[in-house]
Structure 1
Amino acid sequence: MDGTAHASSPAAPAFDAAAVLQAAFAHHQAGRTADAADCYKLILQHDGAHADALHFLGVLVCDVGNLPAGIDLIEKSIQLHPNAIYLNNLGNMRGRARNHQGAIAAYRAALSLAPDYAEAHSNLGYALREAGNSLAAIDSCARATQLKPEFAQAWINLGNALLDLGSDEGALDSYIKALALNPNDANAHNNVGNILEKYGRAANAAEAYQRALALEPRRASLHNNLGNVLRDQGLLDQATASYRQALALDPGFAQAHSNLLLLLNTRPDVSVCEQVDEARAFGRHQSAKAQRFEHAAQAGEMKKRLRVGFVSGDLNSHPVGFFLESVLGHLDRTRIELVAYATRQRDDAVSQRLEPRFSAWHDISRIDDEICARRIRDDAIDILVDLSGHTNHNRLPVFAWKPAPIQATWLGYFATTGLASIDYVIADRHVLPFDESSQFVEAPWHLPDSYLCFTPPPFDIEVGPLPAGEHGAITFGCFNHLVKLNDAVVALWSRVLDAVPGSRLLLKTRQLDDPVVQRATLERFAAHGIDGARLMLEGQSPRAELLAAYQRVDIALDPFPYAGGTTSVEALWMGVPVLTRRGERFLSHVGESIVNTAGLPEWIAADDADYLNKAVRFSAQRDELTALRNTLRERLLASPLCDAPRFARHLEDAFHGMWARHAACHHTNSGLPAQPDRHSSGDAREHAERNFA
């Protein structure tokens, strides 16, 4: 060695993990995810067992969308350092992944370490509710509010659980408490709007939704909710704009698109072509989101007992339930096995009578479209039937997956769904004439008599004498949803009232529970010179009281283009004839079909002038009205509309006809999926008089 002296190198500074972790937190909270990830990884390069870095890197990975990898990192951090905060975060991420039981286990583990951890109690309540246990959720959320009364989210979670169990007042109180703590919580404003809407306070609900939108203007669901209450107030232009705004923000938002389609059907200024084009757009959006299943028919399956699935949120005290009940009791169980897929939880007397008619009853209200579609496919359903169309609680996106080899729509709607994956629309020649089949994406399958069958109420109510005989003046009536009373309807009905001296109009519907809507309705008629004293506006009633209200009506007026359905059949059952107007689509033909079935073709008006003339002429024929009132119920009960055994045979034949065509196509095409004939009536037998929907 030489004797030269060398200067020593300065010592490298020690790695400050705490400082880097703080920098990571700052990046993470500011949304600079790449910078935050770099910091977490840098710490782990120096210390692979650094629990905080491992844990919050896992949270970040979940935040950017990779839940499985992020959850794995979080679970490893808990192995290194078990603590309540880590476990609470694990519960949050498992909840995002829809692993509700896993989330519940994580929250409970957190609470075993920190029993007074309010956030974990609240989150546990949320997870319990998502798992379907709202009763236990209430206990957890209530505990959170006791431990931390200033915790606004706990009050919201408590309100949601209370709402599930029917405690609307308690839920509303919880939401108001949340808003007192945090007036800028859009969720709380939205939830208040939900409750107000439920109780028919549409104008107040609109204000709540508008407050939520002021806070979150780009939230599509809020625009959809606002559209619903604007629609209920008859503000159709504003409602349409709200639904379109929701779709502009989220083009695949199925519920908003369904609501828009339902509304467009009520507007006389929207052509059939426009409505069909919008429905096709819905179909394209939903088909693009789904992975369509393929089905191959098995040899020798041309004739077999068919498994038919019904998808509906209305298997209860609802028009769909009323029309199903008598039919299901007469289906031949050696030919048809029924499986129910209920899209909402609602238990009542009708659902309790319907459920035994099905071999299985599945609640699909809380599972997503893909899981639902796979379940239906795994259940080996041969024919899947949509009973909702674009009405409330529909699950049309599930049908885009094609979980059954044959799919049809029936009963609950009156226009095309727009989904090419739905093969048939079950109809009859009156509601869907052959020359109007181009209005449907689905192929028509015509039943011989009618496309549905009415179940008479399970209680008896007297028809009663003609009200005009007692009061001297005619009372017109309409018990339809107020959205059907567009400006053209109000204008024509005002002319009817003006032309029939002393006549009155009874409107009875849920929307008229709201005093604001009542005032607006009076103003709409006043604009046509009708004194408010000639209008009787009433809200909703239990079904028996609703039917009894027809004892005060001489003639029912059918709106247009959205004709009455159940309301019209119930009017006839109560001895009240229905004046309807001829239309140009399924929706409008319903009224024609009903009065034809009842043997009253003269009660179909060709146009506005004919509608007015018939209203005036029939109003003057008191003896004829009295005779009708005394015989209409018997006519109805004797018609195909109430012949459940006959209808059940026709429905069985339809399902087996669809299956035979499917099996034959598979046999001919060597296993390729069958395509229905888009121009076929579906049933070559002679068609008789039909019924209503």
Structure 2
Amino acid sequence: MAADLPPLSVADALREAVAHHHAGRLPEAERLYRAILRVQPGHPDAHHNLGVLISQTGRPADALPHLASALASSPACEPYALSYAGALLHAGRAEEALLLIQTAMGRGLDSPNTRALRQGAETAILAPLAALFQAGRHPELQAMARALLARQPGFGFVWKALGVSLLAEGKSDMAVWRKAAELLPGDAEVHYNLGLALHNSGQPEDALACWRRALAIRPGFAEAHNAMGNALQDMGQSADAVACYRRALEIRPDFAEAHNNLGNALHNIGRSAEAAGCYRRALEIRPDFAEAHYNLGRILMVLGRSGDAAACCRRALELKRDFPEALNILGNALQSIGQATEAVACYRRALEIRPDFAGAHNNLGNTLQRLGQFTDAVACYRRALEISPNHAEAHSNFLFCLSHGEEVDAPTLFAEHCRFADRFEHPLRGQWPRHRNSREPERRLQVGIVSGDLRDHAVAYFIEPVLAHLAGRRGLALHGYHNHRHEDDVTRRLRAHLRHWHPVAAWSDAALAEKIREDGIDILIDLSGHTANNRLLTFARKPAPIQLTWIGYPNTTGLRAMDYVLMDPFNAPYGAYEHDYVEKFARIPSSRTFLPFASAPPVNELPALGSGSVTFGSFNSPGKLNQGTLLLWSRVLRAVPGSRLLLGNVGEGALRERLAEDFARCGVSAERVTFQPPMKMADYLALHHQVDFILDTTPYTGGTTTNHALWMGVPVLTITGPSSTRCLCAGILGRVGLTDWVADDADDFVRRAVEWAGRLEELAGLRAGMRDRLLHSPLRQPQTVAKGLEIALRTMWRRWCAGSPVESFEIALEELSSGEWE
């Protein structure tokens, strides 16, 4: 025994040293530990206890050699590992401490003490990173984290800190989160953030797997439920998304983002009123939630509340100045309440912020088109399609705009429609189904009608009288596929005439096509063509054996899937323009009737008889008022001294100024032209009391406005020509025997206008008897159109049952008086 040890054994000396240590007599304890080590230099307990004592006296660096020696002798001893790691941590060597703890835990030394020490080491390592995060110094934080990981790549929590810093800068590095998830498999937040990275990179299925893992770890993780809803939304599974958002809100009722997202999902499945409630709840929680203000504005537009929608979007822009989506919806709202100039400014501002915003280019084109600025509108649509070649709505709007212009000839217009099919239909042709509809030529036919205009819309005036006559026909079962989120009184009337009713505005084109196949539709009718709320991409999937287009659009759809277009000899003279259609012509004796407005005012006497001068009128949309039309009208005004022109549906000050300037350049002074803004139907019809006869637009002639004018006793002077748009008005006039009002060219138009302006007594008589003429014209009767349509549908069906090719055909007038109709 060494001389400086008391006369004790090493074991006894160790017990005495420990007693001194526990009693706080640290100098005595330290003297004995050191004495033991002089006798037995490798004694593990003496090294360990001496290291602990030295560390306790504020000298952790001096304690480390002793603690290291103890652990080296017994690597599996938890107290040795914990003491050494603690001293490393207190000595400012947190990285080494953590590595030691991780090694110990890997050997099974997993206890509350080791976990607490690990957390302490991680906190020490994170402290400088946290300080940089709080200061917003993310580049420095990221540099520090990457340097640390270069030394110690196994620190999962540092990977996590790096990922969080990148997220704060709007970046999402998937590799960072994958590494964090590998090293921290039990960390729900890490799996959540990896899911976000996967979702942002277009991998929603993998993202869902991560969020499910996060929820397995932490079932009450509201953000993960919300994120799952977002991914399901992107995958088109809005109904499932609704369940996720509702679960998130069960956990966190004040989760404003989840309320907002729930509103989006409900809107997508057609529950717009409920969606509005969700946005309002989000705003109760967070009044400064710009996205919720924007979404509420968007939904109010759908619900027809444009003024309220505009207010919501303005509030969103107050909270988030550079918000192109809100500017876009604000533009839509302003456009719908007649403030087109302000709408144009909104779209242009949105495009300054986001030049590649295809939707804003499209909407700007729509507004410019309505203002008659066709060249600029076409440029907007082309730009939208450059940015987003698969933007079907913009492509349809582009075609609709070209149909109004004067510069594009018929072959070019036809080619442009075919290009639509090349883009959208051609990729689908290989997936067209083999239709298994029962080939029984005389069985009841399942007939589907697809339209976004089964509501208070011009199309309803044409279709409602026909449906009323077809509703009770034993040979037909009518299905209505209503493609608008809003229903009104007209919708409810139309719905009563249809055996089956399907609201489909929230359905994808593919889902709607599958629904039509499941319903066993034999013949599918499109009432939209390339107008708003069309479902041509559903027709492009060929869900029904026979498909035809009617009423809504005067040109070809361009789709090979569309077999027929329903025509008559009045709007499709033989040989005039069949070559401009992909579809074959199914001609019936009359393809149009019209339901007059129930509260229309009575017909008045001819105004010119009292005033002594003729007043011409036009109530077509400003989008038809091209330069050629204005030149033509100006020729008439110059040729009829003292005559005036009343232009309705012109509300914009800027539009009025432009039109007045155009007329002045054509030699017509401002006092000869009167402008009237858009107004309610009864007031609009009453304006006809001031008009002697209507001057039609060209090349896109009047349809609905012509019918309204005739009901008010006012004839319409039009020009026909070799295109469908030029024959719209001529067809209406031809069905009621008013062929004297159809001119062959511009010179003939001016000549006829001058002649009729000088035949006031005859004009007055025509006016007085016009309603009676309309009511008793055989070719205008709803039953005539309904009969012809049903016989045409049966003809198409018989041909399909026989395996005959699709060909043009005609139903003669005599056929309507035979068969079961009688």
TM norm structure 2: 0.77
- The equivalent residue for 2:198 is 61
- The equivalent residue for 1:267 is 405
- The equivalent residue for 1:241 is 379
**CA–CA separation in structure 1 for the residues paired with 2:273 and 2:712:** 42
- The equivalent residue for 1:305 is 444
**CA–CA separation in structure 2 for the residues paired with 1:150 and 1:543:** 40
- The equivalent residue for 2:692 is 554
**CA–CA separation in structure 2 for the residues paired with 1:372 and 1:137:** 22
Contact 1:508 1:539 in 2 (8 A): yes
- The equivalent residue for 1:589 is 727
- Structure 2: state its 5+ residue gaps: 1-71, 76-95, 104-151, 817-822
1:265 counterpart SS class = helix
Q: How many angstroms does 1:434 deviate by?
A: 3.5
Q: Does 1:328 align with 2:467?
A: yes
- The equivalent residue for 1:416 is 556
Contact 2:590 2:788 in 1 (8 A): no
Q: How many angstroms does 1:460 deviate by?
A: 5.3
- The equivalent residue for 2:571 is 431
Q: Which amino acid aligns with 1:79?
A: A
Residues 1:134 and 1:529: Cα distance change in structure 2 (over 3 Å)? same
- The equivalent residue for 2:806 is 676
**CA–CA separation in structure 1 for the residues paired with 2:278 and 2:705:** 44
Q: Which amino acid aligns with 1:443?
A: K
Q: How many angstroms does 1:658 deviate by?
A: 0.4
1:408 counterpart SS class = strand
Residues 1:472 and 1:226: Cα distance change in structure 2 (over 3 Å)? same
Higher helix share: 2
Decide which of 85, 106, 110 is 2:223's aligned counterpart: 85
Contact 2:270 2:505 in 1 (8 A): no
Q: Which amino acid aligns with 2:617?
A: G
Identity, in percent, stands at 36
Q: How many angstroms does 1:14 deviate by?
A: 8.1
**CA–CA separation in structure 2 for the residues paired with 1:589 and 1:161:** 38
Q: How many angstroms does 1:684 deviate by?
A: 6.8
- CA offsets, 1:316-353, max 9 Å, x none? 22221111121112125211111001111333332222
- CA offsets, 1:215-263, max 9 Å, x none? 1111211100000111111111100100111111112211111111111
- The equivalent residue for 1:126 is 264
Residues 1:662 and 1:540: Cα distance change in structure 2 (over 3 Å)? same
Q: Does 1:203 align with 2:341?
A: yes
Q: Which amino acid aligns with 1:398?
A: T
**CA–CA separation in structure 2 for the residues paired with 1:589 and 1:628:** 22
RMSD: 2.3
* Counterpart mapping for 1:137-152 below 5 A: 137-152=275-290
* Counterpart mapping for 1:513-532 below 5 A: 513-532=651-670
1:329 counterpart SS class = helix
Contact 1:294 1:405 in 2 (8 A): no
1:95 counterpart SS class = helix
Contact 2:272 2:485 in 1 (8 A): no
- The equivalent residue for 1:475 is 615
Decide which of 725, 745, 750 is 1:612's aligned counterpart: 750
Contact 2:270 2:485 in 1 (8 A): no
Contact 1:429 1:687 in 2 (8 A): no
Q: How many angstroms does 1:623 deviate by?
A: 1.2
Q: How many angstroms does 1:168 deviate by?
A: 3.1
Q: Does 1:360 align with 2:500?
A: yes
Structure 1, 527-536 or 636-645: larger mean CA deviation:
636-645
* Counterpart mapping for 1:341-380 below 5 A: 341-380=481-520
- The equivalent residue for 2:137 is none
- CA offsets, 1:35-69, max 9 Å, x none? x3333333333343332232222222222222223
- CA offsets, 1:349-406, max 9 Å, x none? 3222211110111111111111111111111110000001111211111100001110
Residues 1:139 and 1:328: Cα distance change in structure 2 (over 3 Å)? closer
Contact 2:181 2:194 in 1 (8 A): no
- The equivalent residue for 2:50 is none
Q: How many angstroms does 1:590 deviate by?
A: 1.8
Q: Does 1:317 align with 2:456?
A: yes
Q: Flag the structure with more relative contact order, 1 or 2, with Cα contacts below 8 A and sequence separation at least 6.
A: 1
2:645 counterpart SS class = strand
- The equivalent residue for 1:39 is 176
Q: How many angstroms does 1:546 deviate by?
A: 2.2
Structure 1, 432-441 or 492-501: larger mean CA deviation:
432-441
Q: How many angstroms does 1:155 deviate by?
A: 1.7
Q: Does 1:390 align with 2:537?
A: no
Residues 1:170 and 1:627: Cα distance change in structure 2 (over 3 Å)? closer
- The equivalent residue for 1:112 is 250
* Bigger Rg over Cα: 2
Q: Which amino acid aligns with 2:525?
A: V
Contact 2:302 2:486 in 1 (8 A): no
**CA–CA separation in structure 1 for the residues paired with 2:625 and 2:329:** 28
Contact 1:450 1:640 in 2 (8 A): no
Structure 1, 206-215 or 16-25: larger mean CA deviation:
16-25
2:241 counterpart SS class = helix
- The equivalent residue for 1:338 is 478
Contact 1:342 1:363 in 2 (8 A): yes
- The equivalent residue for 1:295 is 434
Contact 1:297 1:663 in 2 (8 A): no
Decide which of 67, 71, 74 is 2:208's aligned counterpart: 71
Paired residues, number: 666
1:316 counterpart SS class = coil
Residues 1:459 and 1:144: Cα distance change in structure 2 (over 3 Å)? closer
Contact 1:598 1:632 in 2 (8 A): no
1:217 counterpart SS class = coil
**CA–CA separation in structure 1 for the residues paired with 2:332 and 2:387:** 21
Structure 1, 36-45 or 381-390: larger mean CA deviation:
36-45
* Counterpart mapping for 1:537-548 below 5 A: 537-548=675-686
TM norm structure 1: 0.91
Q: Which amino acid aligns with 1:19?
A: V
Q: Which amino acid aligns with 2:573?
A: P
- The equivalent residue for 1:51 is 188
- The equivalent residue for 2:84 is none
**CA–CA separation in structure 1 for the residues paired with 2:303 and 2:547:** 34
Q: Does 1:442 align with 2:583?
A: yes
Q: How many angstroms does 1:491 deviate by?
A: 0.7
- CA offsets, 1:633-658, max 9 Å, x none? 22222223432222211110000000
Structure 1, 23-32 or 382-391: larger mean CA deviation:
23-32
- The equivalent residue for 1:4 is none
Q: How many angstroms does 1:555 deviate by?
A: 1.0
- Structure 1: state its 5+ residue gaps: 1-7, 666-673, 689-693
Structure 1, 617-626 or 458-467: larger mean CA deviation:
458-467
Q: How many angstroms does 1:629 deviate by?
A: 1.1
- CA offsets, 1:187-238, max 9 Å, x none? 1111110110111111110000001011111121110000011111111110
Decide which of 262, 273, 281 is 1:135's aligned counterpart: 273
- The equivalent residue for 2:637 is 497
Q: Which amino acid aligns with 1:570?
A: H
Contact 1:580 1:603 in 2 (8 A): yes
Structure 1, 487-496 or 452-461: larger mean CA deviation:
452-461
**CA–CA separation in structure 1 for the residues paired with 2:732 and 2:262:** 52
Q: Which amino acid aligns with 1:437?
A: E
1:583 counterpart SS class = coil
**CA–CA separation in structure 2 for the residues paired with 1:52 and 1:345:** 39
